Amino acid sequence: MGSFLTSLSGTASTLDALQYALNVASNNIDNASTPGYASQIANLEAAPFDPSVGLTGGVLQGPVTDSRDLLAEEDVWQQAGAQGASTAANEALTDVQNALPTSTNSGIPAALTNFFSAVSAWSASPDDGSTEQSVMDAASSLAQSFNTTAAAVGSASQSLNQDIGSTVSQINSLTGQLANLNAAVMQGGQNDAGLSAQIYSTLENLSGLVNIQVLPQQDGTVSVTLSGGEALVVGSNQYALTNGAVAAPTSNPIDSEAPPLMAIYGADGADVTAQVTSGTLAGQLQVSNTVIPSLTGDAAQPGALNQLASSLAGAVNQIVSTGFVSAGVPAATGLFLTNAAHPDSAAATLAVDPNMSASGLPAIDANNVANGVPLDLAALASAPQSSLGNASFTGYYGNAAAEVGSQLNAASSNQTLATQSLAQAQSMRQTAEGVDLNAEAVNVMQLQDGYQAAAKLIETLSTLAQSVIDMIPSSS
């Protein structure tokens, strides 16, 4: 009779273990599409069998393990960061490019063409009041075109800086979620597959915004830092980032009041901008701190637009200021004004000198040539300028705009490549740790067969046991 009871006990434990494995398999199927979920593996263990010492045998529940592959996760994070950076750069550079018209029918190129055309017409009729007024009008339109372009780039910069603030807020929101998830793990959720899925889904979202290094802890939590070691999440503690402005590092600033660069600060107030190397935040910072200052300047450089405006004003004023309105009557002033105290704002402040009028335009040059000044001005249209690296005014502007276009093309290509690489990394991760519905279906069928067989064995043993009991004579 003891062997019957031993067999029943062992088979009962087998039923429990098989039900446990079925529950794990069913949970895998239910969470096959849950972001961050790694398939769970129910490990079954053979129980020792020795009836003489009460060991009933059978199958026991072992620990649940998952298929989480940290190398596959890290590859996904790396590719997500690359995609985030290239996408952000693509979007920001598109806004900057839109602020720099390159068509000969619009923007600075058209204004330069119109100005030199008006000057050329003036050279043919140096005493004609209408042609002189046309020069003044064209000069005013040219200055306004510089102002408008500088303002458009400035608007793109302001919008981008707001985007940087929004990205930092998103990063802090995600690190706050991770700290809360860590806290839930520490409060008893070490083996909770749902919590683990939320953690790794959040980490993937975070990696698209900023580069991260993740160190899984033995208690099931994760510690997250930037590439340089700046802590973002440790246990249930979050260390928030902030964004702010910082002057460009230079020992000899061209303008101490120049527009500042953007910086990222850690929770301790340290500047951690250099630790931001990928993700949306890195792409935004690269355009904000490198591309835009190359156009509109900072403490270390005047910027291409300002350099162009200053060079144009200087070249034109040099010719105009040495001319004569009539015999013995010199020009009262140059044609353009710029803010010499702030070379990084020349394009934004370029204007026609209010002391110059159409009737005050000097046509006679120092050699007493009646139309010498307009001829010299007209020659500037294609003349190489040493202050611009021997490029013409139009050529210099074109080169600056082309550089933005080149970076935009590179960002677009990088975005396409990064998107493909991310999809490949996600596919490889899915292969390593995702739920294979076909395999799970087969597993469920096998476990159900085993469960039914064990249940049948229990039924048979119960019947035999009852038969043996029935064979025992009644004491009465």
Q: Mark the ranges of the chain whose per-residue pLDDT is less than 70.
A: 1-34, 36-65, 67, 247-251, 433-471, 474-476
Asked whether residue 38 is assigned to any structural domain, the reply reads yes
What's residue 294's pLDDT? 95
Helix (H) or strand (E) holding 59: strand 59-66
The span from the CA of 295 to the CA of 22, in Å, is 64
The span from the CA of 367 to the CA of 264, in Å, is 59
* Percentages (nearest 5) of helix, strand, coil residues in the chain: 60, 10, 30
Helical packing angle, 107-124 and 129-186, nearest 10°: 170
Q: Which residues are bridge partners to 298 per DSSP?
A: 301
- Based on the fold, state whether residues 10 and 121 are members of the same structural domain: no
DSSP assignment letter at 52: G
Q: Read off the amino acid at residue 320.
A: V
What's residue 249's pLDDT? 61
- Based on the fold, state whether residues 100 and 12 are members of the same structural domain: no
For residue 437, which of 41, 32, 65 has the smallest C-alpha distance? 32
Residues near 469 by beta carbon (within 8 Å), at least 6 away in sequence = none
Q: Do residues 280 and 166 lie in contact, with contact meaning Cβ atoms separated by under 8 Å?
A: no
The span from the CA of 459 to the CA of 180, in Å, is 49
- Based on the fold, state whether residues 174 and 294 are members of the same structural domain: yes
Domain range spanning residue 82?
72-303+392-427
- Based on the fold, state whether residues 113 and 252 are members of the same structural domain: yes
- Based on the fold, state whether residues 83 and 24 are members of the same structural domain: no
Domain count, the chain: 2
- Based on the fold, state whether residues 52 and 85 are members of the same structural domain: no
Per DSSP bridges, beta strands 222-225 and 231-234 are antiparallel
Asked whether residue 92 is assigned to any structural domain, the reply reads yes
Residues near 226 by beta carbon (within 8 Å), at least 6 away in sequence = 210, 211, 212, 213, 232, 272, 275, 276
Asked whether residue 308 is assigned to any structural domain, the reply reads no
3-state DSSP assignment of residue 243 = strand
What's residue 340's pLDDT? 78
Calculated CA dihedral for residues 308, 312, 318, 321, nearest 10 degrees:
-130
- Based on the fold, state whether residues 268 and 173 are members of the same structural domain: yes
Both tokens of 16, joined, read 């429990």
Residues near 358 by beta carbon (within 8 Å), at least 6 away in sequence = 129, 132, 133, 135, 136
Q: Do residues 346 and 313 lie in contact, with contact meaning Cβ atoms separated by under 8 Å?
A: yes
The span from the CA of 266 to the CA of 71, in Å, is 27
The span from the CA of 76 to the CA of 144, in Å, is 49
- Based on the fold, state whether residues 156 and 25 are members of the same structural domain: no
Asked whether residue 239 is assigned to any structural domain, the reply reads yes
Residues near 104 by beta carbon (within 8 Å), at least 6 away in sequence = 110, 113
Residues near 119 by beta carbon (within 8 Å), at least 6 away in sequence = 135, 138, 374, 377, 378
Q: What Cα–Cα distance (Å) separates residue 206 from each residue in 151, 169, 201, 211, 266?
A: 34, 11, 9, 8, 16
The span from the CA of 165 to the CA of 158, in Å, is 11
- Residue with token string 């129910």: 42
Asked whether residue 217 is assigned to any structural domain, the reply reads yes
Q: Do residues 130 and 187 lie in contact, with contact meaning Cβ atoms separated by under 8 Å?
A: no
Asked whether residue 130 is assigned to any structural domain, the reply reads yes
The span from the CA of 370 to the CA of 385, in Å, is 25
The span from the CA of 120 to the CA of 381, in Å, is 10
Calculated CA dihedral for residues 157, 162, 164, 165, nearest 10 degrees:
150
Q: Is 33 exposed, middle or buried (0-12, 13-18, 19+ CB in 10 A)?
A: exposed
Asked whether residue 421 is assigned to any structural domain, the reply reads yes
- Based on the fold, state whether residues 252 and 277 are members of the same structural domain: yes
What's residue 452's pLDDT? 60
Q: Which residues are bridge partners to 93 per DSSP?
A: none
Helix (H) or strand (E) holding 263: strand 261-265
Asked whether residue 440 is assigned to any structural domain, the reply reads yes
- Based on the fold, state whether residues 61 and 101 are members of the same structural domain: no
- Based on the fold, state whether residues 60 and 79 are members of the same structural domain: no
Q: Is 476 exposed, middle or buried (0-12, 13-18, 19+ CB in 10 A)?
A: exposed
Both tokens of 92, joined, read 């920001």
In the sheet that holds 237-238, the strands lie side by side as 213-216, 222-225, 231-234, 237-238
What's residue 9's pLDDT? 54
What's residue 311's pLDDT? 96
- Based on the fold, state whether residues 185 and 57 are members of the same structural domain: no
Q: Read off the amino acid at residue 213.
A: Q
3-state DSSP assignment of residue 421 = helix
